[in-house]
Amino acid sequence: MHPTDSTTLNEGQQLFNVYHRTISGRHLPVVAESSEVVAPPTLQSVHGSSGHAHPSANWVVSCDVIGFDKKQQKEIKVRFHPSTFQMAQSDSCLLRTALKEAKELVSTMTMDTVWTMDEKCPMESLEQKLRHLGQIIANIKADVVVQGGSLHLTWLISGLSTVGNSKLKTSISEAKGLFANGCHFTNHLVVNVEQANDKQLATIRYEKPDHRRELMKLVIGGNDYLTEGRHTALIRMDDNRLSLSLPRLVPSVESSAISGCSLPPKIPDSLHGEVVVAKDTEKNMVSLDYLVTDFLRVR
């Protein structure tokens, strides 16, 4: 139940719940409590553009929250001045303001905690979608294309047979939620490329303050193939394909005119991949090997 759905405000009343971000089904009740340390409600006059007082007025209702810092948490308490409960019985405007203030304060205080106001936990939902994305990468052979300044991996997802592929089709449907309007998944996917002897290691990660998670590793045979350092990973998904593009170092010889033609793009000596299907679980890595014959070169 959300506070704005309430029609009463009484001491000891459960206003709503907060939900654990990573443990499914765990929640804490948020209850109302009275305390003299909280200021009583006050009326604030509303002034029009002329500066004169408006006939109506707004309630200012103070409250505070306790319980988030306890190790053995059983409930969260929103405290109001005792007079708030009495006045809310006969003043619907004050009641709505008090409940609104409670919701906003608890929402603010949960931002940097393991708790959230959303019943369907955002982190849990995100992790489920990332697992589905990992299933696509692990179970569909990617086409590898070298084109200009990019190395592209493309997983074709259209036209899959329904026979034996029901789970994979579910993963495709669920993973599309990461690319929906308003979802900022693509803004937080980064690739870090490091040189190690005669190979490069590219680690693709989802990075946000409240959720960090490795998605995939690529080991590229040879030196100086991808651009070293940290970059935004370009990833897209539509009804036909999932594609990942990584920045490539383009040798000057490719762009040099030889008999009026430029040389075709160079392909890596080898490419090995590992995808994280599930976070923090045993045997969560699926190995992927790409042969030189898997590569396509496009000018």
The per-residue pLDDT for 299 is 39
Question: Is the domain of 134 the same as that of 154?
Answer: yes
Position 139: which residue type?
A: N
Q: Are 128 and 110 in the same domain?
A: no
Does one domain contain both 198 and 224?
yes
Same domain, 102 and 159: no
Q: Which two tokens stand for residue 185?
A: 């998944």
**Are 28 and 72 members of one domain?**
yes
Q: Are residues 174 and 268 in the same domain?
A: yes
Domain residues for the domain of 97 are 3-116
Query: Which of 65, 94, 116 represents a domain boundary (last residue)?
Result: 116
Clarify whether residues 218 and 191 are in a common domain.
Answer: yes
DSSP 236-295: EE-SSEEEEEEEB---HHHHS-BTTBPPPPPPPS-EEEEEESSTT-TT-EEEEEE-GGGE
Eight-state DSSP code of residue 299: -
Q: What is the distance between the alpha carbons of residues 68 and 127, in angstroms, rounded to a whole number? A: 24
The last residue of a domain, from among 92, 116, 140: 116
Task: Using 50 as the pLDDT threshold, list the residues of the chain that sit under it.
Answer: 1-4, 52-55, 121, 257-259, 281-284, 297-299
Residues 66 and 174 reside in one and the same domain: no
pLDDT at 1: 42
Same-domain pairing of 137 and 75: no
Both structure tokens of 155: 């997983």
pTM for this structure? 0.55
Asked whether residue 152 falls in the same domain as residue 188, the answer is: yes
Statement to judge: residues 165 and 278 lie in one domain: yes
> Could you give the number of structural domains in the chain?
2
Distance CA 296, CA 112 (A): 46
pLDDT for 146 = 84
Give the end of a domain, one of 57, 81, 116: 116
pLDDT digits 0-9 by tens, 188-246: 899 999 998 889 999 999 987 777 889 999 988 888 889 999 998 899 999 899 999 99
The verdict on 97 and 133 lying in the same domain is no
pLDDT of residue 138: 86
pLDDT computed for residue 98 by the predictor: 95
Give 281's Cβ-side CA count (13 Å radius): 11
